[in-house]
């Protein structure tokens, strides 16, 4: 636990063992996407609870993300 961090905690994500490297990459990608979603939701709840206005944290509408469409 880092010094001065009384509310510090940690979790880990267990990725199933597999002999297929492609399945491992898929499983790791899904686990990391789920981690990012949970972090975004937790941060949004924290900012909303502390009444931080216009924080721009929303898992369904990410801030500063542009989309491009290529048409042939």
Confidence at residue 1, expressed as pLDDT on a 0 to 100 scale: 67
Asked if residue 1 is part of any domain, the answer here is no
Cα–Cα dist 55/47, whole Å: 7
Question: Is the pTM of the predicted complex or chain greater than 0.75?
Answer: no
Who wins on pLDDT, 18 or 68?
18
Residues 6+ apart with CB under 8 A from 31: 13, 15
- Domain contains 54: yes
Look at the chain and report how many structural domains it folds into: 1
Is residue 28 in some structural domain?
yes
Give a yes or no: residue 6 inside a domain.
no
DSSP string, 38-55: HHHHHHHHHHHHTT-TT-
Domain annotation covers residue 12: no
Q: Which domain holds residue 71?
A: 18-72
Chain segment 8-56, per-residue pLDDT in tens = 877 788 888 889 989 999 999 999 988 888 888 888 888 889 888 777 7
> Is the pLDDT confidence value at 62 over 70?
no
Q: What is the pLDDT of residue 23?
A: 92
| Assigned token pair, 64 | 């500063």
Residue 7 within any structural domain of the chain: no
């Amino acid at each position: 636990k880092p010094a001065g961090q009384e509310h510090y905690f940690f979790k880990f994500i267990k990725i199933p063992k597999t002999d297929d490297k492609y399945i491992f990459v898929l499983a790791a990608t899904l686990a990391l996407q789920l981690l990012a979603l949970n972090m975004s939701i937790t941060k949004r709840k924290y900012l909303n609870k502390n009444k931080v206005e216009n924080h721009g944290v929303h898992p369904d509408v990410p801030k500063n993300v542009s989309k491009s469409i290529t048409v042939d």
